[in-house]
Amino acid sequence: MPDAYVLLAARGVRVAVRRDLAPALGPWLLAPELRLPAGATPVAGGRGATFRVALADGRRAIVRLYRRGGLVARLVRETYLGVRARPLRELVVVDEARRRGVAAAEVLAARVDGGLVHRGALVTAEVPGAATLLEALRAAPDVAARRALAGAAGRAVAALHAAGVFHADLNLTNILVRPGPRAPHATLVDFDRARLHGGPLGRRARRRNLRRLARSAAKLDPARVATGVEETRAFVAAYGAGAEDACAC
């Protein structure tokens, strides 16, 4: 567990929470049943289990309940099997990624309900004024604005790969962008199943990650209205890789 966090436990529930937030978040997260604070609002995208909330101390945060996807979700929706609980693992990965310079949303706490068979939730700091890359591209007034957004995403993904982090679900909704004083700034979220490497990602791993992002663009923007040629060029230029590595995006 990173030094900035403390591990709490009660009645089959384990919670890793930032030390300074333990008095405020501990009682809520250690409850036998996790209840969202009043006024919680769903966040679009994902698997319908992400909410924007106001915490007891007034802090704005995002709560993501772990939900399965794919074919297995037809049988098992919210339980996982494993010695290493996924919320705790994600917390550790994000903390290390941020230490390496990755623009990742800070994890405030992680909850695990159960043991070998468990459910989980992750609480991250809200990124003020941010929208998903897909939303921002669609709302951009012109191609110049879309190029700037794509460039911000390219820089963030380049930093991710240079830091040796493989994002298992790199897509247009897991990249958040917000205005900056000179250019948009991108933040990465949802590091479930992400992997840390000892050095920068190799060529093959980079291509796999970029191809996943490309598939996301093809699925979410099939007409390429928001992710066309100009936006792709801006992403590639910002990423700093040759077209052979990044052309799929």
106, 122 contact by CB (below 8 A): no
Instruction: Tell me what the mean pLDDT of segment 124-142 comes to.
Output: 96
Average pLDDT score, the chain = 90
Sign of the Cα pseudo-torsion (167, 172, 176, 178, in order): positive
- What pLDDT, on the 0 to 100 scale, is given for residue 76? 54
Q: Which residue has the higher pLDDT, 45 or 214?
A: 214
Residue 107 three-state SS? strand
pLDDT at 81: 79
H helical segments located in the chain:
22-29, 86-99, 133-139, 143-162, 203-220, 229-239, 243-246
Q: Single out the residue of 247, 233, 161, 150 nearest to residue 203, CA to CA.
A: 161
Amino acid at residue number 121: A
Domains of the chain: 5-125 (3.30.200), 131-246 (1.10.510.10)
Residue 209 above 50 pLDDT?
yes
Q: Which is more confident, 168 or 244?
A: 168
CB 119 within 8 A of CB 15: no
Residue pair 127/180 in contact by the 8 Å Cβ criterion: no
pLDDT of residue 58: 84
* 107 within 8 A of 142, measured Cβ to Cβ: no
DSSP 82: -
User: If DSSP codes are grouped into helix, strand and coil, which group holds residue 73?
Assistant: helix
pLDDT at 156 over 70: yes
Supply the pLDDT for residue 104. 98
pLDDT at 242: 38
Q: pTM score, two decimals? A: 0.90
β-bridge mates for residue 185, sequence order: 178
Structure-model confidence comparison of residues 24 and 84, the more confident one: 24
pLDDT at residue 142, rounded to an integer = 96
User: Is residue 192 over pLDDT 80?
Assistant: yes
Rounded CA gap, 132 and 113, in Å?
A: 29
Identify the top-confidence range among 36-45, 93-102, 239-248: 93-102
pLDDT one-digit tens code per residue, 38-74: 899 998 765 558 999 998 888 899 999 998 655 444 4
> Predicted confidence band at 244 (pLDDT cuts at 50, 70, 90)?
very low
DSSP secondary structure letter of residue 104: B
Give the integer Cα–Cα distance in Å for 129 and 64: 19
Q: 196: buried, middle or exposed (CB in 10 Å: 19+, 13-18, 0-12)?
A: middle
Instruction: Summarize the confidence of residues 205-209 as an average pLDDT.
Output: 96
Mention every residue, 6+ apart, whose C-beta is less than 8 A from residue 155.
186, 238, 239
DSSP 157-188: HHHHHHTTEE-TT--TTSEEEE--SSS-EEEE
pLDDT the model gives residue 57:
81
